[in-house]
Structure 1
């Protein structure tokens, strides 16, 4: 009897059964679909309703202001707002894959709303041409939109996450198309959207960004008035001018189904029911047509909206939500009238077992070889049911049969029970997501949890994620951010306690992200208190900087020991604060100070000098100046007649003066003094000899060069000025006598002259300097 009652609700289309159970009685009031524009999201998503401004309707007690209202699939109000957009008539609206409502108005502006009717900024423009020429029609898909203007030009946005309007090729038609459909980019050869336009001739134009193609010239016998592309983009269902339903390949090369309809008037709606049948809706009749057999008729005394799903069609009316789908094979095998399949006998055996009838054992013996298949069919049929009692009965039948199976995987029943618990929870009218098991598998649990938290069902999302063994961080994070946004009247301290009580449930949760949201909502004090609980310095420090807590950020970065974080804080404070204030902050913090000095030595000498001056480290400034003098000496310009030697000498003298101010650096002061004196003498020698060979050479080399050039007075002056030691003469004299005989014949007059001078001069140092110069001169001459 149970089998008869279940199967009695089915409709047979050729050799396939279809069922249309009622999922919800709509809880909304005073919503008439024929007076409104309606957009329904797939996968049991929300419903957007706004009064249709293209129709003349009687307002009654309703306000003249139009309201955009958003309901769950069970009719619970999720949010509403006044429609305030002056861009002209609303052309169309639809839901994207991430459940954002997109609304296109006449001037080509696209407005976006959340499921709580909150306007998202900024709006999107379809371009200047749409603004000037006005949009007259549009088609939405997944995350995209195609619209057509009064001049029959097509514009497309392929992805609302990257909304760049693109103008498609000019279809070159004078009259507006009779109908329009879209093949999504993932199903086209080019990877771009393809727009199908039904025009007055017996053909369809396929318009892409780079061209237009005529389709259907050989198979069509007249214009097409309505089109619908299948979910996988392979098939096109169309209604012709003479009342025929054609199902063709999407390139219109082959007709698969051609059937006469009961009316030549085009249907108000044309939709695919899964991949099996096509639905056509007129004022009071819904016609379901398949490849063969007579169509199935459903009659309605109120307007309906068809919502295509992957495995059927949801049917929305003023009072109810139904789901039309093909009866699954497992369900058919159990509940079909007269079925003797193993699954049906197992289901019947459970009934006999409950009534303590011996026929239960008889049924089990009959299906013993096929018992695993029967158990699997009962489990699968339970998954496709919306009725909870029937789910239980089917799962009990599966469990009953499993007890007699030795080789059946016993975790199948547990997995199905887990799945059904989740589905039954989200199908509850208070939640209003009537997902089938196939839709649930296609949507994935993680996306479902995301949709639950977006509709502020945080507790249910937390329980589902916990039950499925998923990470709960996303749920708790979203709840915390929502709580901050909605609790403006609660004090920071009280709200902090509420947040911490829940945030501690999830280990490793980012307190910094919640604190950033608090700061974004203008609650900087709460943000500072939250970030104190963030254990990861890499997340804590940047946030502290963003909320203006530079001192705390620097302290936390130093405590972490991460030099990259310390540098991050240093550079941030460097840009934000005055130099003296910055110096004061880092002076007492050794790691920060040392890192700053290391960096500034390489790239910011002037700033480092200011730091040393502000902290009284004059000797460090002197060392920097001395280093600068050597860097200046490396400049190529310094070897070309000495225009840079003057500034070098001044820098060294400045370093000398700084060294003199500290008693501990007397030696450095004297060295700087002699260095400046030597550079000045070398500079004068280069000017007098017009040869850039003296600067940056040693005292001995300077004396030697003077002797080689014959400038003995200058050599004597350098020796006297710097009190050069005379012990080198002996070594130089010895070297002279080691010169090979073959070198002794060079310029003997000059040689004798030099030696006579050396012999007459009692200065040993000068003697041997000259002797070394003589040897160098001899080697050069040879």
Structure 2
């Protein structure tokens, strides 16, 4: 196509060119936009249409039931549903950033639908106060919305994903007048981080409503605003376009510091819609005309004989009519430099050189010589222009021109053309009427390839999404997962086995894909057999086991958990089965699995004794039950109420007796049986002693301590009874009684005891007891009776009698002992000399 033919399609607004290429001839039939409410998503998104219940329209062959229909941007029907939501008249619709359709009705309820026209629960409400008043105007942004009620209340929900409605400052509509129009400045463009609501009111001017303030703007820079009937905020939140009652379009910063420019639109009738075309111009629509206004110069007019809907984009505005979809945008600078009539730019000469080359004209070489120094810039301009084109032939020609110039330009980045080819291939694929996503290259870069793939997936364009992911080197798991889940939902008539083969054929393409997630979807659709078969292919037990439990396959879940060796996973299954199954069935399941059994026992020992006893009894492990009973008896002992003659000792003793009986059932536990028997007997005696003495000092002490305590208390009869009951040996008895009498310093009784008969343990206990009590005089009664001279020497040394110690040591004829004793008296020179003399004597005798 010649430069003249390309540029002939452009319109000049001051010094900037605009073009309006046709994107699609709409595929729908019998759609009249004037009879419907329409919401079109940005970034080439879907179009939602529902009959406008605020208008009286004639029904032709259509049903009286209102239907919500969702189309692609090319007019292909994606989904439809009967509109049956209560709550009054539909006030407004909007596609959120998540590509969910938000529909706000008169009572302040927001109903949300996905792209398949399926209702998303729960609904979002603006609150009770809003419910009690009718909503008259609303405005959406991103994932939020704001609305105004008949009573002048302004409400907003900042994010539908976390819907927390808030009430802004209240208006006085009697003072301000009727609300004529509404716009919002998104929270991300406001310093406070909260939304600002801009209202055009009947008395003139703009009212700015925030959380805690209402500001009236009647004039800017001394110029009155008048009545404002339409408002539109630019995409970056910096500029505001306002249409006034006297037909003026005013553009100003959102801080209202000045009026940047104004334009007389020659119509006092407010436009049906006003929208920003990128950041360079404002588009106004009346029922027969589209007016594009720039900061300088005459506006551009486009005449239409059918209703329109303006869809603002980041780099232009899409124009939807009954029959077509167009894209009004500023012509990119690279395109202007190539196709402007009479252009002599380097890019235009390169494009022209290709034409000469194709016609085998020598002029091609002449053009290349002219631009040789600027060839990289020319090539880049051709590549950039190709990216902004929607026409395939023109894309190809521009890329051929870039490739032709690159052959003579070593400095140009080699993969730039390849990247652009890849990008255009993706864009051309999604722009096709069958898909209907007319993305420009700028929109594509802002949207990002991953979001584009997600949108294709949500539109059930799985094959294209998979090919785009593969072509761009992206992860394909998301696409395959969504396809598998959609296949399960849509294939209820296909048998599980056949459907499993179909799913596995695609799922195996991705190594790290979650079979458990697909199985969960199958379970949600009441296909538990299919879910179980899918789980067999899930390699990660942490994903596999919980779902097996949810579908009721506890046995397999326990097997998989124990095979994994993950104790947390095993406990998850154990607790689940524990709550659902009868005890005996539960015991049978864990008995054959050592890891599960051991973990159950470990947990139950700390928290569930009774249940563990039932388990041991069911498996015939009587000795383990006995040990548990014995442990429980000790827990009784820790109770502070189990002393002072408490009746708690009765149950405690019975527990020990039960344990003794169970130990007695097996020959291997004779010792434990005897120990338990004696323990019960001792506790009974100690309990009786505490009752009689009224002192809580006996229970849980040893036999020796019990005897010693009885003697200290003077209850010799009780001490003798304990000795007899437990057959305490005579030697042990002597040691215990000697030290008990020394404890109460009853020296007469101790002396009397020593004379009853010759002590079987000798007199050493008597000496030690007196010495520890620091009673030298009492100790001297027994030291001479010690048979071993070495013991006598050490005993005398302990009470500080050096001479006697030396004499006893010399009788023993033990030089080593003398040396040791000398160290004991190291600070006593006289004593040390005695030991030295005796050692010398022993040495002399040994030498002679």
The aligned runs of 1:65-464 (5 Å cut-off) are 65-174=65-174, 175-219=177-221, 220-464=224-468
Aligned residue number for residue 753 of structure 1: 749
- Paired with 1:718 and 1:597, the residues of 2 have a C-alpha distance of 39
Aligned residue number for residue 558 of structure 1: 562
Question: Contact 2:108–2:130 (CA<8 Å) still a contact in 1?
Answer: yes
Classify 1:91/1:657 alpha carbon distance in 2 versus 1 (closer, same or farther; 3 Å).
same
Task: List alignment gaps of at least 5 residues for structure 2.
Answer: 779-848
Cα drift, residue 525 of structure 1: 0.7
- Paired with 2:694 and 2:764, the residues of 1 have a C-alpha distance of 26
Secondary structure of the residue aligned to 1:755 is: helix
Classify 1:453/1:408 alpha carbon distance in 2 versus 1 (closer, same or farther; 3 Å).
same
Cα drift, residue 150 of structure 1: 1.5
Secondary structure of the residue aligned to 2:730 is: coil
- Paired with 1:35 and 1:180, the residues of 2 have a C-alpha distance of 22
Classify 1:577/1:777 alpha carbon distance in 2 versus 1 (closer, same or farther; 3 Å).
farther
- Paired with 2:759 and 2:488, the residues of 1 have a C-alpha distance of 92
Cα drift, residue 727 of structure 1: 3.1
- Paired with 1:720 and 1:646, the residues of 2 have a C-alpha distance of 23
Question: Contact 2:660–2:672 (CA<8 Å) still a contact in 1?
Answer: yes
The aligned runs of 1:602-621 (5 Å cut-off) are 602-621=606-625
Aligned residue number for residue 844 of structure 2: none
- Paired with 1:429 and 1:185, the residues of 2 have a C-alpha distance of 36
Higher mean C-alpha deviation, range 583-592 or range 757-766: 757-766
Secondary structure of the residue aligned to 1:145 is: strand
- Paired with 1:675 and 1:733, the residues of 2 have a C-alpha distance of 22
- Paired with 1:75 and 1:366, the residues of 2 have a C-alpha distance of 48
Question: Contact 2:178–2:202 (CA<8 Å) still a contact in 1?
Answer: no
- Paired with 1:504 and 1:361, the residues of 2 have a C-alpha distance of 55
Matched, 1:484 2:481: no
Task: List alignment gaps of at least 5 residues for structure 1.
Answer: none
Aligned residue number for residue 469 of structure 2: 465
Alignment counterpart, residue 725 of structure 1, candidates 706, 723, 729: 729
Larger RCO, structures 1/2 (Cα 8 Å, 6+ apart)? 1
Secondary structure of the residue aligned to 1:12 is: strand
Cα drift, residue 356 of structure 1: 0.7
- Paired with 1:733 and 1:74, the residues of 2 have a C-alpha distance of 108
Classify 1:736/1:455 alpha carbon distance in 2 versus 1 (closer, same or farther; 3 Å).
closer
Q: TM-score, normalised by structure 1?
A: 0.95
- Paired with 2:280 and 2:289, the residues of 1 have a C-alpha distance of 19
Q: Deviations over 1:136-191 (max 9, x none)?
A: 22111111111111112111111111122222110222232121111111111111
Secondary structure of the residue aligned to 1:356 is: coil
Cα drift, residue 213 of structure 1: 1.8
Aligned residue number for residue 50 of structure 2: 50
Aligned residue number for residue 832 of structure 2: none
Cα drift, residue 770 of structure 1: 8.5
Aligned residue number for residue 712 of structure 2: 708
Ranges of 4+ aligned residues in structure 1 off by more than 6 Å? 729-737, 765-779
Cα drift, residue 483 of structure 1: 0.3
Higher mean C-alpha deviation, range 519-528 or range 170-179: 170-179
Higher mean C-alpha deviation, range 620-629 or range 759-768: 759-768
Secondary structure of the residue aligned to 1:39 is: strand
Secondary structure of the residue aligned to 1:255 is: coil
- Paired with 1:766 and 1:632, the residues of 2 have a C-alpha distance of 42
Aligned residue number for residue 521 of structure 2: 517
Equivalences, count: 774
Q: Deviations over 1:517-576 (max 9, x none)?
A: 000001011101111111111111111001000000000111111111111110111111
- Paired with 1:678 and 1:418, the residues of 2 have a C-alpha distance of 91
Cα drift, residue 728 of structure 1: 3.8
- Paired with 2:66 and 2:696, the residues of 1 have a C-alpha distance of 89
Classify 1:766/1:561 alpha carbon distance in 2 versus 1 (closer, same or farther; 3 Å).
farther
Cα RMSD, aligned residues only: 2.3
Alignment counterpart, residue 588 of structure 1, candidates 583, 589, 592: 592
- Paired with 1:775 and 1:577, the residues of 2 have a C-alpha distance of 69
Secondary structure of the residue aligned to 1:405 is: coil
Question: Contact 2:242–2:250 (CA<8 Å) still a contact in 1?
Answer: yes
Cα drift, residue 639 of structure 1: 4.5
- Paired with 1:381 and 1:470, the residues of 2 have a C-alpha distance of 26
- Paired with 1:770 and 1:649, the residues of 2 have a C-alpha distance of 38
Q: Deviations over 1:728-772 (max 9, x none)?
A: 4787899999x9xxx9xx96xx31233213421567479998988
- Paired with 2:345 and 2:195, the residues of 1 have a C-alpha distance of 47
Higher mean C-alpha deviation, range 682-691 or range 379-388: 682-691
- Paired with 1:604 and 1:198, the residues of 2 have a C-alpha distance of 70
Q: Deviations over 1:475-511 (max 9, x none)?
A: 0000000000000111111111111111111111111
Secondary structure of the residue aligned to 1:591 is: helix
- Paired with 1:734 and 1:241, the residues of 2 have a C-alpha distance of 118
Secondary structure of the residue aligned to 1:415 is: helix
Aligned residue number for residue 61 of structure 1: 61
Q: Deviations over 1:628-649 (max 9, x none)?
A: 2222223333344544333322
